[in-house]
Chains A and B, each alone.
Chain A
Amino acid sequence: MADLDFTQVVDQHHAALFRFALSLCRDEDMAAELVQQTFLMWGTRGHQLRDESKLKSWLLTTLHREFLATRRRESRFANVEVSDAVHELPQIPSGVVDHMDSGAVMEALQQIDELHRAPLALFYLEDMSYREIAETLEVPTGTVMSRLSRGKAQLRQLLRIDDDERRQKFQLMGIPMVEEQTHG
């Protein structure tokens, strides 16, 4: 494998790794720390990677493993209670997510229980196929499909709650909601 300059690898992948880490850790400092740990490991073990095209997957897998190892030593964060009967929830009204800021959508993702959060994060952040997600997280493809299904349902419910709260706030303030505008 051609020698990959460490700085180049950081340039190309640190942002994506941070967003994935943030979805897992729910804390910006811990996410940054996790990313630094991952690149440190790349610095010492990256020579073991034979196929350069697998670099990003290697980094994401390593980061996920480090997250799991760290999590065992830390107290669990309380998860938002999500109803079991969420699979058949109607889809979110059109344009709702577009009116939210990125931080709010990330916060919703962070509230999903950890088991479902990681595959969902890879699906949305890295546009990975369910097979690629299975390889990265080292779980069977069927497991990924199930976790994506449930994770999406949980996220949908949380985004719906967020939108309802936003609408109520605007109503209380007497401010009309600005829906998607069309021109021309």
Chain B
Amino acid sequence: MDKRQARFVLQACRDAGSDVSDAQLTEAHACLERDPELAAWFEVEQAEDGSIARKLRGVPVPENLHEAILARHAAVAPEPEVSPSRRRFVALALAASVVALAAVTVLMLRPARPTVDLAAFRREMQASVSGGVRLSFTHADTAQLQQWLQEKRGLSGYVIPAGLRGQPGIGCRSWTWNGQPVGLICFKIENGKAVHLFILDRRAVPDAPKDASPRVANSDGWSSAAWSEGETLFLLVGEGSSDQLTRFL
């Protein structure tokens, strides 16, 4: 191994002692004993790496991230747990019949599938705004908000519903849901309140409405209306009754 090769290998070396079992690094380390210049370089390289690592590991983490993760997890309905007594019954059924065994195994031991239907989408999006939402970009002009969503997440080709066009914007942000970007535009309405418009590719929600007829739902004092126009799924969420919401459609 020549000097250049040794440097190439040693630059991937972690703190002294961490990679003692690696044959390639061991061979490169042996070069240090024969080459003082290489050894001096390695000492500086390790010190530099240590400084950079310490700085990067000191980058602060958003205070609300931990809670946001738990809240989002709670908003997705979990698969029901199989109780211990039920498991014993399953074991007996398995011993008694191969056919029953296959049927019960498929029913009781199937892996949990992520819930990606319209109900889950409503639930998660409502949860994301009902406790207050941090916006990535704020502006009263909704055209600016739409432009931000297009530049940052590629969301375009949709038209703001007629009932919202006269409402001033507050801001916007974006998520990813079922692998697709979701845009959120918040609009200011009377009495200091807001309504929240989510925009998503309709194909991300298997049971999304296929037409512009809104499907309305109520939950925990909030209302939501879902409809589609072309390939875009819209979900409008607001606090209060569905009558207060649907006037914006």
User: Which A residues lie at the B interface, using CB under 8 A?
Assistant: 6-7, 10-11, 14-15, 18-19, 22-23, 27-30, 32-37, 39-41, 43-45, 47-48, 66, 69-70, 73-75, 91-92, 94, 97-98, 100-103, 105-106, 109, 121, 123-125, 127, 129-131, 144-145, 148-149, 152, 155-156, 159
Contact = CB atoms under 8 A, between A and B. Distances in A.
A63 to B, nearest CB: 12
Interface in B1-41: 8-9, 11-12, 14-15, 18-19, 22, 41
Contacts of A23: 56
B177 to A, nearest CB: 8
A25 B48 CA distance: 24
A43 B61 contact: no
Given A75-B151, A105-B52, A149 B59 contact: no
B65 A32 contact: yes
A70 B181 contact: yes
B163 interface: no
Contacts of A22: 59
Given A102-B56, A127-B18, A41 B12 contact: no
B113 to A, nearest CB: 7
Main secondary structure of the interface of A (DSSP, over half): helix
A28 B153 CA distance: 14
| In the complex, the 4 A-B pairs of residues with the closest C-beta atoms, listed nearest first | A97-B51, A105-B55, A102-B58, A44-B114
Interface stretch (B66-74, B187-195, B211-219, B227-235): B66-74
B65, B76, B152: which has the most chain A beta carbons within 10 Å? B65
Contacts of A7: 70
A43 to B, nearest CB: 5
Contact of A152 (B11, B61, B173): B11
Contact of A47 (B62, B69, B112): B112
Contacts of B58: 102
Contact of B69 (A10, A94, A102): A10
Given A35-B69, A148-B11, 7 more contacts: A18-B61, A36-B69, A47-B111, A73-B154, A74-B153, A102-B59, A149-B8
B241 interface: no
A121 to B, nearest CB: 8
Interface in B219-245: none
Contacts of A14: 61, 65-66, 69
A106 B59 contact: yes
Nearest to A106: B59
Nearest to A121: B56
A94 B47 CA distance: 8
